């Protein structure tokens, strides 16, 4: 099978997946798939249309028909820029709720696989290595302690001028972890053949270096 190469980077919220994915993709000159953004777009579209987060049939139909585009770092829904709107916590929580429905996951499956274009893809999510790209050449599971992930998020929000409480963030992160790991379909867990990287005490640069070393060991060109 001469498939376009894929590196999958799965892990919990706040593990640094997004940043690491962008850096690894830039190194190779490959495409990026931010699968969480797709779940978030569907959540926003459903919210705007008044579809209940339990209406699996309507959500599946919407997932199949969603007019979403990723252009120049922007996320467009029916042509409108929703890059900022999908990042709020309400949309994130709605996304994680509808992501537990098998019909939604199935409805978004092919859309995610369509990102596998030459010369290669780095895919960021929760089930990239276990479900969507089960035949990926390199699978990484990136994690960090809940406290460290909350601390990173806290600094990010504080620097952006928001007033936030660290204990509240630790609680929020724990709740989201529980929802994502506890669900029946495509729960968050490392693939059997994944390289597990704990970034609690590593810098972003060190994480990227490790991933590039694993990629080289697998003969991926860069
Ligand atoms: O990564 P991000 O926080 O943007 O993802 C939002 C939510 O979408 C996650 O909490 C998770 O429930 C869901 N998701 C998923 N599978 C993926 C990516 C995201 O279930 N591959």
pLDDT in tens, 106-117: 999 999 999 999
pLDDT in tens, 165-206: 999 999 988 988 888 888 899 889 999 999 999 999 999 999
C-alpha span between 89 and 220 (Å, rounded): 36
The CA 200 to ligand 1 mean position distance, Å, reads 21
Q: Which atom belonging to ligand 1 lies closest to the Cα atom of 176?
A: 10
Pocket test for ligand 1, best of 125, 132, 140, 183 (most atoms within 8 A of CB): 125
C-alpha span between 102 and 208 (Å, rounded): 33
Question: Ligand 1 pocket by C-beta < 6 Å: which residues?
Answer: 13, 35-36, 39-40, 92, 95-96, 99, 125-127, 176, 180
Mean pLDDT score, 130-139: 97
Among residues 42, 128, 58, 127, which one has the least CA distance to residue 91? 42
pLDDT at 90: 87
Where is pLDDT greater, at 92 or 112?
Answer: 112
Q: Which atom belonging to ligand 1 lies closest to the Cα atom of 86?
A: 4
The CA 16 to ligand 1 mean position distance, Å, reads 14
Q: What is the DSSP string of 101-152?
A: -HHHHHHHHHHHHTT--TT-EEEEESSIIIIITTT-SEEEEEE--HHHHHHH
Dihedral angle sign, alpha carbons of residues 32, 128, 214, 13: positive
Domains of the chain with bracketed CATH: 6-214 (3.40.50.300)
Mean pLDDT of the chain: 94
Six-digit token pair at 165? Answer: 């409480």
pLDDT in tens, 144-173: 999 999 999 899 889 988 888 999 999 988
Percent of the chain at pLDDT exceeding 90 = 81
pLDDT in tens, 72-88: 889 999 999 999 999 88
Pocket test for ligand 1, best of 126, 129, 130 (most atoms within 8 A of CB): 126
Most confident of 61-70, 91-100, 159-168: 61-70
* Global confidence as pTM: 0.93
Q: Which atom belonging to ligand 1 lies closest to the Cα atom of 125?
A: 21
The CA 125 to ligand 1 mean position distance, Å, reads 6
Residue 2 has pLDDT above 60, yes or no: no
**Predicted confidence band at 222 (pLDDT cuts at 50, 70, 90)?**
low
Q: Which atom belonging to ligand 1 lies closest to the Cα atom of 13?
A: 3
Pocket test for ligand 1, best of 70, 99, 115 (most atoms within 8 A of CB): 99
Residue nearest to atom 11 of ligand 1 (CA): 96
Phi then psi for 186, rounded to 5 degrees? 40, 55
Residue 1 has pLDDT above 50, yes or no: no
pLDDT in tens, 33-44: 999 999 999 999
Cβ–Cβ under 8 Å, residues 211 and 24: yes
pLDDT in tens, 8-24: 999 998 899 999 999 99
The CA 99 to ligand 1 mean position distance, Å, reads 7
């Amino acid at each position: 099978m001469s498939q376009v190469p894929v590196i999958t980077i799965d892990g919990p919220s706040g593990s640094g997946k997004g940043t690491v994915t962008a850096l690894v993709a830039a190194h190779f000159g490959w495409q990026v798939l931010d699968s969480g953004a797709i779940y978030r777009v569907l959540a926003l579209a459903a919210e705007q249309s008044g579809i209940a987060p339990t209406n699996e049939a309507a959500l599946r139909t919407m997932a199949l028909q969603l007019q979403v585009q990723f252009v120049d770092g922007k996320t467009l829904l029916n042509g409108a820029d929703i890059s900022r709107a999908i990042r709020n916590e309400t949309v994130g929580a709605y996304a994680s709720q509808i992501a537990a429905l098998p019909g939604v996951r199935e409805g978004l499956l092919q859309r995610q696989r369509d990102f596998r274009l030459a010369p290669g893809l780095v895919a960021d999510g929760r089930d990239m290595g276990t479900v969507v790209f089960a035949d990926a050449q390199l699978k990484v599971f990136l994690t960090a302690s809940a406290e460290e992930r909350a601390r990173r998020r806290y600094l990010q929000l504080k620097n952006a001028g928001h007033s936030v409480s660290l204990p509240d963030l630790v609680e929020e992160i724990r709740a989201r972890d529980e929802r994502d790991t506890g669900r029946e379909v495509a729960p968050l867990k490392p693939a059997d053949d994944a390289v597990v990287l704990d970034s609690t005490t590593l810098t972003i640069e060190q994480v990227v270096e490790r991933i590039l070393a694993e990629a080289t060991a697998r003969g991926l060109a860069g």
